[in-house]
Structure 1
């Protein structure tokens, strides 16, 4: 009977049993804790990502300003560090005013680890559509 093989997603008992099977095999909380602590993903499939390591930057506490600068940093990814081309490291014209052209480290992460400029602002909420239209409307 083909109907017997179809899972009943609206059946709470079946859904709970399937969730318990998955939760017993894969501890999501432990994997998330490992990811936040090390910056490395633990996955059998690789999740179709170009890299599985190097997702975090260790915040150095040399002084307060150095520590604070880590929260304005942008890392393009460890995948690009192995590339032999320099095009990913270049600061493109559309990034001027948003990314600092000077504040990038020497060595292998040069151009891959950038920082936001002092005046760059990241909004916390989206603007109202009427306000946007009024701002760009011809006077």
Structure 2
């Protein structure tokens, strides 16, 4: 029973793309593990860690693309401050320029927008308001 079969690829793209090279190396480890019957032995021979079991599952689901490195972080954060609130903070920083982060945070709390003063400071720093 063959679980893994290598797919022909354009060798030119493998030479130019480091992610594709790593994917091909992981594929060869998976093929060696299937031949030897042991992932640990195949990884030891190839000087790779034992993440090949998850690589095998990703290869079966996504093909060669699944063997490339995954992004280490999420694309967006679920608790990101809304753009409207950021614009409100920036406008409050312009209106009375003497207001600090605590005062802006308290003013927004009175308006019904709950945001901490460290978050206000972070937003102002990102918007180049830091002094």
Q: Which has the higher contact order (CA 8 A, sep 6+)?
A: 2
| Larger CA Rg, structure 1 vs 2 | 2
Is TM > 0.5 for Structure 1 vs Structure 2?
A: no
Q: Which of the two has greater helix per residue? A: 2
Q: Which of the two has greater strand per residue? A: 1
TM-score interval for Structure 1 and Structure 2 normalised by the shorter chain: under 0.3
TM-score, normalised relative to structure 1: 0.27
